Amino acid sequence: MTHDNAPRFRTGTDHVESWFVRANDPAAPRALWLKATVLTRADGSSLAQAWCSVFDGDRTAGFRHDLPLEQAAFTSPATGLESRVGPVRLVLGDGGGASTGELVSAAGRVSWDLTFSRGAGELGDPMCLLPSRRLVDARLPRNKLLTPVPVATFGGRLVWDDETWDLADWVGMQGHNWGDAHSPEYAWGQCVFLDGSGTPSAVVEGASGRIELGGRPSPLLSMLVVRRGEREYRFDRIVDLWRQRPELAFPRWSLRMRGRDGEATLEVVARPEAMVCLGYQNPARPPSHCLNSKTARVRLEVRPRGGAAFELTSEHGGALEFLQADPEPRVQPVV
């Protein structure tokens, strides 16, 4: 079986692939987002990128480091991924991972040294939004998303300019996605919900996006997975448009899904002032722009079939991304 973090890219093909890590302060609207990206093209050219974004209320900053792929390292040991893109190192394994790095831009300077471990029990088991894991290695859909660590706890520290953050007991996740290009348009969200003692008790991840069909964008297709305790509720009938009601209305994404496990309604809202705009390259298409929040407000309602309904909220623990063709003037760009 291929490990969830094993690289899928091959040089000489149109392909974009990313591994990313998110960590949130449970007590305040502060968050860290790291990503390593590989971009290859059919003409043989290739690029590696390291990204870091930091969020502290309305104060945000984004950093990026580019270099030719042959000057970076992406290796796949038996247990995951080891990557180095310039000054940024990211190691991912079955039980968690680690990262060190330092990046400098017009936004200032950021450095970090962190570790994270997979959450205990079923909450921390690898998650796949697709209806079957067999689709991960199938030809279609062309864009794939796995979440090797949907719930993670962190340790370490981050230094942003002259401020130091202690990352002990921060909560987050680790994901992996790839395809021959970014989707034409999408909204993606993820949130780890905490109980009264600050312990992870539930997690939700979902997406609404378009794919290209015959050179034209499809209707919005959605999928959603909720875990609470030992139960998992799946809403993954991607092409069943009668049972999904997505709405992408920046800076708000909402999704209502019905399926064999019942009904769920998700609402994720961010403030443009608390986001960053990331310019994403595509192998054979125009660039895209990712409007990125890691401190979004989340409200989730689930009405299980044959069970009691429940509602979960997080004031500033949600990840929210919008991908679109044009930048958003209200969101700070990463240069």
**Count of residues in the chain:** 335
Taking alpha carbons only, the member of 259, 219, 41, 278 closest to residue 129 is: 259
What would the two tokens of residue 226 be? 């909720």
209 and 244 Cβ atoms separated by less than 8 Å: no
Is residue 160 situated within a structural domain?
Answer: yes
Instruction: Check if the beta carbon of residue 212 is closer than 8 Å to that of residue 218.
Output: yes
Assess if residue 2 is contained within a domain. Answer: no
209, two tokens: 């996006």
d(CA 261, CA 304): 6
> CA-CA distance, 309 to 303, in Å (whole number)?
4
What is the per-residue pLDDT for 184? 87
- Residue 6 inside a domain? The answer is no
- Using alpha carbons only, give the angle 325, 329, 331 rounded to the nearest 5 degrees: 95
Buried b (16+ CB within 10 A) or exposed e, 126-164: bbbbbeeeeebeeeebebbbbbbbbbbbbbbebebeeee
Q: 137: domain range?
A: 15-333
Compute the distance between CA of residue 224 and CA of residue 233 in angstroms, rounded to an integer. 8
What pLDDT, on a 0 to 100 scale, did the predictor assign at position 212?
76
3 part of a folded domain: no
User: Residue 156: enclosing H or E segment and its boundaries?
Assistant: strand 144-160
Q: Give the pLDDT confidence score for residue 202 in this predicted structure.
A: 98
Residue 10 lies in a domain: no
Alpha-carbon distance of 18 to 144, in angstroms, equals 11
Please state, in angstroms and as integers, the Cα–Cα distance from residue 305 to each residue in 260, 263, 302, following that order.
7, 8, 9
C-beta of residue 58 within 8 angstroms of C-beta of residue 330: no
Which residues, including other chains, have CB under 8 Å from residue 306's CB and lie 6 or more apart? Answer: 262
Q: For each of the chain's 335 residues, which pLDDT tens digit applies?
A: 358 999 999 999 999 999 999 999 999 999 999 999 999 999 999 999 999 999 999 999 999 999 999 999 999 887 789 999 999 999 999 889 999 999 999 889 999 999 999 998 999 999 999 876 666 676 666 778 999 999 999 999 999 999 999 999 999 999 999 998 888 899 999 999 999 999 999 999 999 998 877 778 888 999 999 999 989 999 987 667 778 999 999 999 999 999 999 999 999 999 999 999 999 999 988 899 999 999 999 999 999 998 999 999 999 999 999 999 999 999 989 86
pLDDT at 240: 75
Sign of CA dihedral 214, 216, 219, 224: positive
Supply the pLDDT for residue 62.
95
For residue 86, what are its two tokens?
Answer: 């310039």
Distance in angstroms (rounded) separating the CA atoms of residues 19 and 5: 8
Q: Which residue has the tokens 């309904």?
A: 309
Residue 225: count other Cβ atoms within 10 Å of its Cβ: 23
pLDDT given for residue 134 in this prediction: 65
Looking at residue 231, which CATH number applies to its domain?
2.40.370.10
Rounded to whole angstroms, how far apart are CA atoms 51 and 334?
10
What is the reported pLDDT for 138? Answer: 61
- pLDDT (0 to 100) of residue 1: 35
Question: Which positions ≥6 away from 243 have C-beta within 8 Å?
Answer: 235, 237, 257, 258, 259
Domains: count for the chain:
1
Provide the sign of the torsion angle of the four alpha carbons 93, 87, 19, 253, taken in this order. positive
Q: Quote the pLDDT of residue 79.
A: 72
8 part of a folded domain: no
Phi and psi (nearest 5°) for 273?
Answer: -70, -15
Measure the CA angle with vertex 127, ends 121 and 131; round to 5°. Answer: 135
Contact 191, 298 (CB under 8 A): yes
Q: Per the domain annotation, does 145 fall within a domain?
A: yes
pLDDT in the model for residue 198: 92
